[in-house]
Amino acid sequence: MAQNSFPSPISVNAEDLACERGGRPIFEGVSFSLSGGEVLAIIGPNGTGKSSLLRMIAGLLFPVAGSVTIKAGTQEEGFLHFLAYGDGLRSVFTVEENLKLWSRIYGGETGGEAIYDALEEVGLAHAMHLPARALSTGQRRRAGLARLVLSKRPVWLLDEPTSGLDRDGEAVLGGLMRTHLDAGGAIIAATHLTLPVPPTRTLELQ
């Protein structure tokens, strides 16, 4: 990974967020702020809304109250990467085709070599031309990580990033996270396990 600097300063600010699912309040009054080079870990037991908070930051859920602002220098849009249970891999397409599609949508690199390099970084280069249906759960997660490598985006939102990954996979994830932080990026991860990179901030949901 080359030294890649994102437009700075990077900041993620959440103010007084409240969440409601199916008429039941999940959390309220959640605030945090985060800048480039930092990792925020959202922790807490099941059902406290870790994923919901992450989805709210991603703009997939409307907050009942409060707001989220994400800034990266003068960049107008395209701040986020979202890595969750759904990896967006279509089983009839090869790993390469899948990654190429997401790179084109996310404005990343689409060349065969770049895709090969990214896959090599996550230990999946041998499967580049295989259809995605041939991949195991852990390999699908790795393909998802390759997506993050291909398109440079300043803020990563990771939902249970270590789930489905073996020890080696966790090491790969840790390496990618460190590279991203060194390049000035920010990471928000929701997890009930330990992250391969120690978080600089922790937000506990009750």
Partner 1 sequence: MSAFSAIIGQTVKASFRAGGGALTGLLFFLTVVTVFPFGVGPDLNLLARIGPAVLWIGVLLSLLLGLDRLFGQDREDGALELIMVSGEPLALFVFARAAGYWLAHGLPIVVVAPILGLILNLDALSLAAVTATLLVGSPALAMIGAVGGALTAGLARGGMLAAILVLPLSIPVLIFGVAAVNGAIADPDPFLAPFLILCAFTMFSAVLAPIAGAAALRLGLD
Partner 2 sequence: MGTISSLANPTRFLSWSARILPFVSVLAAVTLGIGLYLSLVASPPDYQQGDSVRIMYVHVPASWLAMFCYLVMAGAALGTLVWRHPLADVSARAAAPIGAAFTFLALFTGSVWGKPMWGTWWVWDARLTSVLVLFIMYLGLLALWRAFDDPTRAAKVAAVLILVGFVNIPIIKFSVDWWNTLHQSASVIRLDGPSIAPSMLWPLVVMAVAYTLIFVALHLAAMRAEIYRRRARTTEILIAARRPSTAVRPAAAH
Among 2, 24, 92, 113, binds partner 2 (CB under 8 A): 24
Q: Does 167 bind partner 2 (CB under 8 A)?
A: no
- Tokens 């409060």 belong to which residue? 66
Preceding amide of 9 cis, omega within 30? yes
The DSSP 8-state label assigned to residue 22 in this structure reads T
Q: Is 59 in the site for partner 2 (CB under 8 A)?
A: no
Taking CB under 8 A as the criterion, the residue among 9, 29, 45, 47 binding partner 2 is: 47
Window of 18-26, 69-77, 117-125, 141-149 that interacts with partner 2 by CB under 8 A: 18-26
24 binds, among partner 1, partner 2, none (CB under 5 to 8 A by kind): partner 2
Distance from the first to the final alpha carbon of the chain: 38
DSSP category for residue 118: H
Q: H or E element: which one contains 50?
A: helix 50-57
Summarize as ranges the residues that interact with partner 1 (CB under 8 A). 55, 58-62, 77-82, 84-90, 92-93, 97, 100-102, 104-107, 157
**Min dist. Cβ of residue 140 to partner 1 (A):** 10
Query: Is residue 129 part of the contact set for partner 2 (CB under 8 A)?
Result: no
Among 3, 22, 76, 113, binds partner 2 (CB under 8 A): 22
Distance CA 103, CA 125 (A): 17
CA 120/CA 11 separation, integer angstroms: 31
Question: For residue 56, how many other CB atoms are within 10 A of its CB?
Answer: 23
Binding site for partner 2 (CB under 8 A): 22-24, 47
